[in-house]
Structure 1
Amino acid sequence: MTYPKELREMTRLAEKSYPFMVFHNRCDGAKQGQSILYLHWHEHFEIIVMQQGSGIFHIDSQPYEVHPGDVLFVPAGGLHVGYSTCEGDVAYVSIVFNGSLFNDYVHDGLHAKYVQPYLEGRIQLPVNPLLHDSGCAAHYRLLQEAIAEFKAKQPAYQLIVKSQLHLLFTLLARTFLPLQLPERAGSRFMENRERFKTLIAHIEKNFADKLTVDEAAGLLNLNPYHFCKQFKKQTGRTFVEYVNVCRMNEAERLLLEGELSVTEVAGKVGCDNPNYFTKVFKQYKGVTPSQVRR
């Protein structure tokens, strides 16, 4: 699994008129703690349906453990990342769609009342609705039907998938809309999320730079203790671990290209000591740089 150069993912959707896509994700032979979804965000909504194995997804700083059958709702613009919590095969489906999928409902008063507030980001569905209302499980058949429709691609499947997603949001809104907190309750959290997006994008573009915890905290005007606590919530890793993951993923890419020596690769990713580089690389990748090269 390669790590992206940019934190923002430009997700490819099926077509402009029906902006949705279904991705089948697999990580065979995953190790515990291995990344199964790189840290990123996008302007689209995402629904994660766990199919095999187990994992933990950090979505907007909160961890959610998942097992087969579990469903998570990632809000548009939400930072999310996933790690395996098992040894073995891991598989999940991501249903990604843009809120513009439902633009033709814009003049419908009931849509404006029940669904539009979620599409506009004024309020958000719970990431794991089952933690709040077990009755939501009955609605998840719509997701399985949408996945099957997308796979079969029978005539007018786009209309069916669109209808199923809209029905799902309407049913969930029926449950949660009366319970939603006022908009301003989450405003500080949203502002904090945007600040960390900027920092993480900076790290991923400049991972070879020597950036200390104190310096990183200073960029966000936070004290180091609070910064470390918030960074772990956002990414599921400590600041040092996250920088190392970025460096080792880039190192793996350079090693596979085969144009640079191990020492040169170490220097490219900000590790001046080749022995230390080898130690860290094996810690994160399970093999030495030389073994990757072979």
Structure 2
Amino acid sequence: MRRETLRENRVHGLPSFPVSVYPDVEQLNGNCILDCHWHDEMELILVRSGSALFQTDMQHTEVRAGEALFVNSGVLHAGYLHHDDHCVFSAVVFDPKMLLSHGPDVIQQRFIEPVLHKTLLPPVHMKGTETWGREILDSLNKILRDHNTRHPAKEISTKAQLYAIFASMYPQMIPAAGEPLEANTGLSKVERIKVALGYIHEHYQEPVRLKDIADKVGMSEGHFCRFFKQMVQKSPIEYINHYRIQKASLLLEQSDRKVVDIALEVGFDNLSYFIATFKKWNGMTPSCYRKEHGSQQIAFMPLPL
């Protein structure tokens, strides 16, 4: 699956049915299978083979084949190879608003909104060792099967299974305690890393100074670098370069612009450094990448809804 299909600004599904199904997501690069990001949609991830260590905000969970992970709206999440040397997973990403009613009702008030507003915390990890976990895995597998076979009523079936998943999760939910805010910024650790990532995503085409990002989150530069590495599993410079290479990869796929022009467009002012960095993350030079991917349709896109 191409990296761009999982970027946080992607539109999932259609306005009339905001659900996207990603059937087979594989390793991106190195030990990373899912780059650190977040989105307003909720997400259910089912590991098909292998295993991976998933980060959801400050929590880390190893998910093995046949197990699933729930990612709430706005939660920072990422995935890394841990004990296995590979991992393939499927994902269902959906806008929780599709489960709300036009007017207040007991389902919305009691079951959906508390999760959306994070006053109730649902279980993150579904192993299938207990009845409620098996029910969730069964519902998730049915969603994936219906979209794979293009079931004629997959829309209503998907919505029904999402309600069933919430019903199975509800008895396992716990009240949220809340994360303490940092006195100097009024932000939690997760919110601070979101600010830092947002700054990088907005300014990646420009020279990015670590001091400027550190100032944004109220930290010293040294403290910020340690904090960022702990949260994202990459140093700030590694993340900036990786994000730039993601953007360059997309431009190589979708245009015939010169490599040097693309390098400048995404924030590299040295062509040799750009080529070396590109090869580090993609395992090939920009020219080879264009030959392999430039004339092909993007693979493993969500099945049509």
- TM-score, normalized by the shorter chain, greater than 0.5: yes
Q: Deviation of residue 105 (structure 1)?
A: 9.7
Paired positions, count: 283
**Residues 216 and 176 of structure 1: is their aligned pair in 2 closer, same or farther, counting only changes over 3 Å?**
same
Task: Write the distance in 1 (CA, Å) between the matches of 2:160 and 2:7.
Answer: 33
Paired with 1:293 and 1:148, the residues of 2 have a C-alpha distance of 34
In 2, Cα distance between equivalents of 1:32 and 1:6: 18
Structure 2 matches for 1:127-146, cutoff 5 A? 127-130=124-127, 136-139=132-135, 140-146=137-143
Task: Give the alignment of 1:192-271 within 5 angstroms.
Answer: 192-256=189-253, 257-262=255-260, 264-271=261-268
Match of 1:174 among 166, 171, 182: 171
Query: What letter corresponds to residue 26 of structure 1 in structure 2?
Result: V
**Partner deviation per Cα, 1:177-219 (whole Å, 9 max, x = no partner):** 3xx334xx23639744334333323312322322233321111
**Structure 2 partner of 1:74:** 71
Q: CA deviation at 1:87?
A: 4.7
- Cα deviation digits, residues 52-77 of structure 1 (max 9, x gap): 23333332244333331121111111
Alignment CA distance shift 1:48-1:7 (3 Å): closer
1:95 to 69, 83, 92: 92
RMSD: 3.4
2:294 maps to what in 1? none
**Hey, what's the Cα distance between the residues in 2 that align with 1:63 and 1:195?**
18
Q: Which of 46, 49, 52 in structure 2 is aligned with 1:52?
A: 49
2:298 paired residue number: none
Report the counterpart of residue 116 of structure 2 in structure 1.
119
Q: 1:26 matched to which residue of 2?
A: 25
Do 1:45 and 1:98's aligned partners in 2 also have CA atoms closer than 8 Å?
yes
Q: CA deviation at 1:31?
A: 5.3
251-260 or 47-56: bigger deviation:
251-260
Shift of 1:174: 0.7
In structure 2, give the amino acid aligned to 1:144.
N
Distance 1:20 1:270 in 2: 33
Contact 1:31-1:84 within 8 A present in 2 as well: no
Aligned to 1:147: 144
Instruction: Could you tell me which runs of 5 or more consecutive residues in structure 1 were left unpaired when the two chains were aligned.
Output: none
Give unpaired runs (5+ residues) of structure 2: 292-305
Is the CA contact (8 Å cut-off) linking 2:247 and 2:266 kept in structure 1?
yes
Greater percentage in helix: 1
Distance 2:247 2:143 in 1: 36
Contact kept in structure 1, 2:36 and 2:79, CA below 8 Å? yes
Structure-2 separation of matches of 1:280 and 1:227: 23
What amino acid maps onto 1:160 in structure 2?
S
TM-score by length of 1: 0.78
8 Å CA contact 1:114–1:174 kept in 2: the answer is no
Could you tell me how far apart the structure 1 residues matched to 2:230 and 2:153 are?
A: 42
Label 1:169 to 1:274 Cα distance change in 2 as closer, same or farther (>3 A).
same
User: Could you state the TM-score of these two structures normalised by the residue count of structure 2?
Assistant: 0.76
Find the residue that maps to 1:275 and give its secondary structure. Answer: helix
